[in-house]
Structure 1
Amino acid sequence: MRIIIYILTFLLFVSCKTTQTKLEFLEKNIATEYYDSGEIKSVGTIEDFHKEYNNYRIGFWREFYRDGMLKESGNYKLDTYTQCCTGGICDGFYSYKFGEWSYYHQNGKLKAKGKYSIGKKYIKTSCEGGDEINFGFVSDSWKFYDENGNEIKPTKNDIAEIEKTSILDEWNMTKK
């Protein structure tokens, strides 16, 4: 009887280990997302491993307005953060923007362009204490433009609008 208890205890500890996915070697697929009315919303690459349930963005992506005009373009990386799941510690996945991105007004003129400065940001998770993730911040080197193409000084709202779209977690990317 003691042997069975030891075996069950061992299995419990082994099953609580976090899985480590080698993010560098993920397979890629091209994905196209559509607005409810049928127009193309975005086009880019997703990683193959989780494609049945989530569209984790990796690599180059383009997003469009409903009228087909380019809204934004740039690259994503896939990363993980710590979650507490029913079986123990597990990984939560998210994609974050990095490198140079371009944003456009609906009339096609450049709205903002710059290279994300990657830093750490605290997020709440299902684990006590949350976790820190990689996050793309807008730096002073970014350039912002009005709808006529004239360079402007960005407001706090302009910067916040771009930064709030800097990450997409597994809940944002769940297939509907």
Structure 2
Amino acid sequence: MRNTLYILTFLLFVSCKTAQIKSELPIKNTITEYYESGEIKSVGAIDEFHKEFNNYRIGFWKEFYKNGILKASGNYKLDTYTQCCTGGICDGFYSYKFGEWNYYYDNGNLKANGTYKIGKKHKETSCEGGDEINFGFVTDSWVFYDKNGKKIIPTEKDISEIEKSSFIDEWDMGKD
């Protein structure tokens, strides 16, 4: 009987799995970015862990025109892609837009509103063959407006402009 108890206790410990808990919300700080001329360019949260190298955007952000009018607002997530570094495989980081976003003209009128559909897109990297990244695509449910607030059918250029802005990687951080 005693051996059976030992065996059951042993099996209980062996069969238990440890779980690694991965946080979906990295520690973050709110920062304000400025144009060279001093006007507020954007306000939002950055990933605390990577702030010494790049300001990877996470959470809710507001972007502004130089005249102070809101340009865009919505949420970012942080993700990685595979890079080939001198020491071997390493992670490249990027922030991508997800969920509902609003875009505005420089006169303050709404330009576009919609929810990004997250899919995969090929990204050239320093590794042969590149990698697939999460990417926000514009869908038919997006609504576009002209500068006067009238609903319009978007052109390919309108859609491309919004999709092109849907991710920021470490190489984009220093660009204006």
User: Matches of 1:23 and 1:130 in 2, distance apart?
Assistant: 27
Q: Any residues of structure 2 matched to 1:114-153 within 5 Å, and which?
A: 114-153=114-153
Name the CA distance, whole Å, in 2 between partners of 1:175 and 1:29. 21
Structure 1 counterpart of 2:113, one-letter code: K
AA aligned to 1:121 is K
Corresponding position of 1:112 = 112
Aligned match of 1:87? 87
User: 1:32 and 1:67 mapped to 2: Cα distance?
Assistant: 16
The aligned residue for residue 69 of structure 2 is 69
Counterparts of 1:23 and 1:32, CA distance in 2? 25
The answer (yes or no) to whether the contact 1:95–1:167 under 8 Å persists in 2 is yes
Q: Distance in 1 between matches of 2:162 and 2:109?
A: 16
Taking structure 2 as the reference length, the TM-score comes to 0.85
Higher relative contact order (CA 8 A, sep 6+): 1
Residues 28, 153 of structure 1: CA spacing in aligned structure 2 closer, same or farther, 3 A cutoff?
A: same
Between the aligned partners of 2:63 and 2:137, the Cα distance in structure 1 is 19
- Computing the radius of gyration over CA atoms, which structure comes out larger, 1 or 2? 2
Query: Which runs of 5 or more residues in structure 1 are unaligned?
Result: 1-21
* Distance 1:23-1:86 versus aligned 2 partners, 3 A rule: farther
In structure 1, the residue matched to 2:15 is none
Question: Which residue is 1:53 aligned to?
Answer: 53
- Residue 24 of structure 1: CA displacement? 2.0
SS of 1:80's equivalent in the other structure is strand
What CA deviation, in whole Å up to 9, does each residue of 1:108-166 have, x standing for no partner? 11000000010000011011110000000000000000111110000000000101101
CA–CA separation in structure 1 for the residues paired with 2:113 and 2:129: 35
Q: 1:175: how far off?
A: 9.4
Partner residue of 1:103?
Answer: 103
The aligned amino acid for 1:95 is: S
Q: Which residue of 2 aligns with 1:44?
A: 44
Name the SS for the 2:157 alignment partner.
Answer: helix
The residue identity in structure 2 corresponding to 1:43 is V
SS at match of 1:159: helix
Distance verdict in 2 for CA 1:82–1:166, change over 3 Å: same
CA contact (8 A) 1:55 1:174 kept: no
What is the alpha-carbon distance in structure 1 between the residues aligned to residue 147 and residue 106 of structure 2?
8
The one-letter code of the counterpart of 1:107 is N
SS in 2 for 1:128: coil
**Offset, 1:174:** 4.8
C-alpha spacing 1:34/1:149, structure 2 compared with 1 (3 Å): same
Q: Does structure 2 retain, via aligned residues, the 8 Å contact 1:53–1:175?
A: no
Aligned residues: 155
- Aligned-pair identity in percent equals 74
Give the gaps of 5 or more residues in structure 2: 1-21
